[in-house]
Amino acid sequence: MDNPLSTNPMLPKPRAREEIHQAVISLIGKLNLAKGSKVLDVPMGPGALSVILFQNGYQVFGVDIDLAQSESVQSYVIRKKADLNNSIPFEDEFFDLVVSLEGIEHLENPFQFIREISRVLRQGGYFILSTPNICNLEERLNYLLRGSFYRFISPNEFKEKGSGFDHQNLMTWVEMKQILEWNGLKPLFLEKDKIKWRQILFLWPLGLLIWLYGRLQPATRRKKYCMDDNESFPVMFGGSSLISVSKKLFMNEI
């Protein structure tokens, strides 16, 4: 799948980092979706991914609470306004693929968001989700030192800037996986946005310690805490974002 982010100055400037777009575009290409498949970009932000998806032959739809930022996107991308804490304005099982880049962590109600994603996605369809990776080694060490994955947002700041302006719901992979599976979305694999080399250079002893600890745990405990995933390279040594690819199960698979 073509990636014109760096070569097409006419594209809207992506809100998410370019390396996230590059990784997601590559993943979409591996899904072998038929031309003309219906794809939802949610939240669509300025619309860079929507334009790329259209240029690669898909029917593209975008949803965001702020459509002003995607005004430059031409009418071939069907845009709809919606508060993603509530409902997504499409009928059941409408899409073949739903892509959500760096959005779920800004929502007050991520559970409702994933329920709606599952509702509008057809059985056998795919869901690609990217969100900050708070399970990599750097973030685990930060949590150990400061006792928090993110800063405190005061009531005054929340009142002034409104819901969604910053990270309100950062999630571990265990939390993301359970939300997905509760809603019939089976995670297939995880991907990173990039490699953080300083984690490999400076934190590999911590990674080795975590891996050795995991090897000593019984299989039931490893499954309970998703240790196989949490010890994987994309999670421990991946970049700032974790990208999951899930498939909506058919009714006879649930």
pLDDT value at position 10? 67
pLDDT (0 to 100) of residue 74: 79
* Structure tokens that stand for 16 in this block: 């998410």
CATH 3.40.720.10 fits 18-133+165-196+239-253, yes or no: no
Q: Read off the pLDDT of residues 39-66 as tens digits, 9 standing for 90 and up.
A: 999 999 999 999 999 999 999 999 999 9
Predicted pLDDT at 3 = 61
Instruction: Give me the residues of the chain with pLDDT under 70, please.
Output: 1-10
Q: Give me the pLDDT at residue 17, please.
A: 86
Evaluate whether 189 touches 246 at the Cβ level (below 8 Å): no
pLDDT of residue 164: 84
Say which residues have a Cβ less than 8 Å from residue 180's Cβ, sequence separation at least 6. 114, 127, 129, 186, 187, 244, 246
pLDDT of residue 188: 96
In the 8-state DSSP scheme, what is residue 53?
H
Amino acid present at 7: T
**What distance in Å separates the CA atoms of residue 50 and residue 45, rounded to the nearest whole number?**
9
Short-list 138, 161, 159, 164, CA closest to 149: 138
Separation in Å, CA 218 to CA 68, 81, 206: 52, 48, 21
Q: Is the pTM value of this prediction over 0.85?
A: yes
Domain ranges of the chain: 18-133+165-196+239-253
Write down the H helix ranges in the chain: 18-30, 48-55, 110-120, 137-146, 155-161, 173-182, 197-215, 219-224, 227-230, 233-236
Residue reference for tokens 């910053």: 166
